[in-house]
């Protein structure tokens, strides 16, 4: 099933609409493109987007109150965490490969089963329970 686009509608006052239209004209975009870019950014950063005026971006204000001015915020991670993450990625890749091999083997067995039209005899275990005589394989 493909990715279907959805429509979002909302109301803004006339001043906000004019300001948004001016932003779109400055950037030679449609209003729809402005909103799509904003929504894409919002989704990409898991809702953690800070809107600041261009004069305030990089000027150290940040608006976050921490005073470092970096946005998006950065976090240092220990090497052991990075190594563990890499190990888990490798393990996940290995498991995906094993899954693919198992699927291929199942397909091979199904093909063999479908190809064997001259099956000698199929014995169902439930039927063996009903018989008094022992059944020997081979």
Best-predicted range by mean pLDDT among 44-53, 55-64, 77-86?
77-86
- Provide mean pLDDT across the span 87-106: 96
pLDDT value at position 107?
93
State yes or no: pLDDT of 76 exceeds 70.
yes
State yes or no: pLDDT of 129 exceeds 70.
no
Tokens standing for residue 128? 């063996």
- pTM score: 0.34
For every residue of the chain, DSSP letters joined together read --PPP--------HHHHHHHHHHHHHTT--HHHHHHHHHHHHHHTTT------TTTTTTT-TTTSSSS--SS------HHHHHHHHHHHHHHHHHHHHHHHHHHHHHHHHHHHHH---------HHHHHH-SS-----
Tell me how far CA of residue 75 lies from CA of 70, 72, 83, 98, in angstroms.
Answer: 11, 10, 16, 35
pLDDT value at position 40?
83
């Amino acid at each position: 099933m493909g990715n279907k686009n959805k429509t979002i509608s909302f109301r803004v006052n006339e001043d906000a609409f004019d300001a948004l239209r001016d932003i779109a004209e400055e950037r030679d975009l449609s209003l729809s493109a402005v909103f799509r870019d904003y929504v894409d950014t919002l989704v990409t950063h898991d809702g953690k987007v800070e809107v600041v005026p261009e004069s305030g971006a990089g000027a150290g204000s940040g608006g976050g109150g921490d005073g470092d001015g970096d946005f998006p915020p950065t976090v240092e991670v220990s090497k052991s965490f990075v190594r563990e993450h890499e190990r888990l990625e490798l393990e996940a890749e290995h498991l995906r490969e094993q899954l693919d091999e198992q699927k291929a083997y199942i397909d091979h067995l199904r093909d063999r089963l479908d190809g064997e039209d001259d099956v000698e005899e199929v014995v169902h275990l439930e039927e063996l329970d009903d018989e008094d005589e022992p059944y020997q394989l081979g």
